[in-house]
Amino acid sequence: MDLTWQTLAVLALVALIAGFLDTLAGGGGLLTLPALLLAGVPPLQALGTNKLQGSFGTGMATWQVIRRRRVRWDDARWPMLWAFLGSLAGAVAIQFVDPEPLRVLVPVVLAAIAAYFAFVPKAHEPPDRERLSAAPYEATVVPAIGAYDGAFGPGTGSLFALSGVTLRAYPLPRATAVAKTLNFATNVAALAVFAVAGQMVWAVGAVMIGGQLLGAYAASHVLFKVPPVVLRVLIVVMSVGMLVRYLVGSQ
């Protein structure tokens, strides 16, 4: 595949913006996947390449929040393992089943995320106490969301953030930070499946990785400085954007 340097530069810039937005609110794939398709990358290779560059963005965000002790590694490693296993199972399972009946999950998930943060009063504020303790949350909710990401994916980061606020009573900035670690694990699992299948354009992915790293690095430094209500608005906007793109693309 021959791409001009101008096209590669645009893809790198799109990846930078996506990495920044993805770290704050999720939904970076709303920008990067269409950009890859418009650049002429075949659909399956676009999906694989998108996972490749996205993994580096969530990886950078994960390293930053752990390095800056916004999330403790001891608290993150087991949930990340559960997320990885769930995503791996979802990515493998979708290879052997008809995905069409399951695709209804995607708009339902995106609409539910947008509706919750848009219409529930003080949705950016955690409840008074956790509704599910750590162990059952990590063993059930985390791998379930991971399986969704492995099989489909849109809105995974926002879904992790939503569950962190509503079930674990995390403040939204902390829930978003934890979501980055879990989304990194699910991305790596899905990436492994695409890599084994050979659905990757490595040169394009390498260019976009640079943009993702810069965008995620910048966003990780402002994540805990952004008012929770702003994060709430960003999540709604990105979720609605993903929903619209998904519905239009399904026509």
Lowest mean pLDDT among 98-112, 116-130, 160-174, 191-205: 98-112
- For the chain, the average pLDDT equals 88
* 229, 192 Cβ separation under 8 angstroms: no
What are the backbone angles phi and psi of residue 130, rounded to the nearest 5°?
Answer: -65, 145
pLDDT for the residue numbered 179: 94
Exposed/middle/buried for 237, CB within 10 Å: 0-12, 13-18, 19+? middle
DSSP 4: -
pLDDT for 120 beyond 80: yes
In the chain, domain spans? 5-249
pLDDT for the residue numbered 1: 64
pLDDT for 89 beyond 90: yes
CA distances to 33, 48, 76, 111 from 40, rounded to whole Å, are 11, 14, 38, 30
Structure tokens of 12?
A: 């790198």
CA distances to 54, 85, 182, 230 from 187, rounded to whole Å, are 7, 11, 9, 26
Q: Where are the alpha helices (DSSP H) in the chain?
A: 5-25, 29-38, 43-67, 73-93, 105-119, 134-136, 142-151, 156-168, 172-196, 202-222, 228-249
Q: Over the stretch 149-164, which tens digit does the pLDDT of each residue have?
A: 888 777 788 899 999 9
pLDDT for the residue numbered 143: 97
Q: Over the stretch 156-208, which tens digit does the pLDDT of each residue have?
A: 888 999 999 999 999 999 999 999 999 999 999 989 988 888 888 999 999 99
Could you tell me what percent of the chain has a pLDDT over 70?
A: 98
Q: What pTM did the predictor assign?
A: 0.84
